[in-house]
């Protein structure tokens, strides 16, 4: 019986480390495991110390052994984040109780959410707040693109306070909105600013501190869509939105000029849509079936993993088309 259990656990660990299930490559998982091992152990010892009310009295190694080893816990969490599998399914596969799986996912998910976002061409550097993002964009001359996205969530019970705040005016469903920032190549810089689905994108710019960051960093420029027309009016030298459509009596030349300007602005901004599409490859960010109060942590955990992959894409530098004087003398 013991041999069969060992074979089952070994098979489960090997299968779950496959990128199709975990959502990350095995090399990426190895880096994650090395990064999370120390914080997880520190959090565990802190919780045990608080439960005991002091330092441990027995030497390390005594007491009940955990049913899930450390390497299984990130694997469980990654598979759950990738496919939103029920905890009961994972518990059956690992022959443990459902509460054990829930505890492991809750612990590792919080560590993933606290990692921040990887920075392209800057190994070891991570962005965690809007202040970090705008400071980085100003220092490196990066022109961030920002766009909002919304994820359908469970409908609260009837009569519950704040129920209407999550009803999206666009989708007519209960949703939670987020804001994603990317660079010109679609590499994620930050994703968060979690808010109820009823809040408009322009309102979030003012209430969540994005507008204040534009004031503090006047050299930072950004590309946005038509939903951010308000910030584009407030910061005309920094925020670029699609041009307004000319009126019906406008000349054909004005209409062609507007169409070309709209096309150019859309081409410069479309990369952030690709970034949002990368996030939606993870099932919880297409439709979240868990508790709404855990969505923010789930989103940050998944976004940190996506940023690791996008930051590895090399920077594509375009050759300059500026005319350069080769020699001063005439031919």
CA–CA dist 243, 232 (Å, integer): 10
* Cα dist from 167 to 176, 177, 202, 226, whole Å: 9, 11, 17, 21
Residues 259-276: pLDDT tens digits?
A: 898 899 889 899 999 999
**Which parts of the chain register pLDDT below 70?**
1-13, 317-331
Residues 158-196: pLDDT tens digits?
A: 777 777 778 777 778 888 889 999 998 999 999 988 888
pLDDT of residue 2: 46
pLDDT of residue 6: 52
Pair type for strands 239-240 and 222-223? parallel
Q: Where are the domains of the chain?
A: 2-56+66-113, 117-311
Give the predicted TM-score (pTM) of the model: 0.86
In sequence order, what are the beta bridge partners of 287? 152
């Amino acid at each position: 019986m013991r041999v069969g259990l060992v074979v089952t656990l070994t098979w489960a660990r090997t299968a779950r480390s496959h990128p199709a299930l975990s959502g990350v490559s095995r090399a990426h998982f190895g880096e994650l495991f090395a990064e999370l091992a120390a914080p997880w152990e520190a959090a565990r010892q802190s919780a045990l110390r608080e439960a005991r009310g002091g330092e441990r009295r027995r030497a390390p190694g005594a007491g009940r052994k955990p049913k899930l080893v450390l390497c299984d816990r990130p694997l469980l969490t990654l598979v759950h984040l990738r496919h939103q599998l029920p905890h009961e399914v994972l518990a059956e596969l690992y022959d443990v109780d459902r509460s054990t799986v829930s505890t492991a996912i809750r612990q590792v998910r919080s560590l993933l959410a606290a990692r921040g976002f990887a920075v392209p061409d800057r190994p070891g550097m991570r962005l965690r707040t809007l202040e970090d993002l705008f400071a980085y964009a100003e220092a490196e001359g990066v022109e961030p693109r920002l766009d909002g996205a919304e994820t359908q969530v469970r409908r609260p019970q009837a009569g519950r306070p704040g129920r209407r705040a999550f009803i999206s005016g666009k989708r007519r469903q209960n949703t939670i909105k987020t804001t994603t920032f990317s660079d010109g190549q679609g590499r994620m810089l930050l994703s968060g600013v979690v808010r109820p689905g009823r809040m408009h994108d322009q309102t979030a710019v003012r209430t969540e501190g994005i507008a204040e960051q534009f004031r503090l960093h006047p050299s930072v420029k950004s590309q946005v869509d038509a939903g951010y027309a308000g910030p584009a009016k407030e910061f005309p030298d920094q925020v670029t939105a699609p041009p307004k459509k000319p009126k019906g009596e406008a000349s054909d030349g004005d209409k062609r000029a507007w169409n070309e300007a709209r096309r150019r602005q859309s081409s410069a901004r479309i990369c952030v849509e690709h970034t949002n599409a990368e996030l939606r490859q993870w099932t919880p960010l297409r439709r979240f079936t868990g508790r709404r109060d855990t969505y923010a942590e789930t989103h940050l955990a998944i976004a940190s993993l996506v940023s690791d992959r996008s930051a590895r894409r090399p920077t594509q530098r375009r050759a300059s088309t500026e005319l350069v004087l080769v020699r001063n003398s005439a031919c």
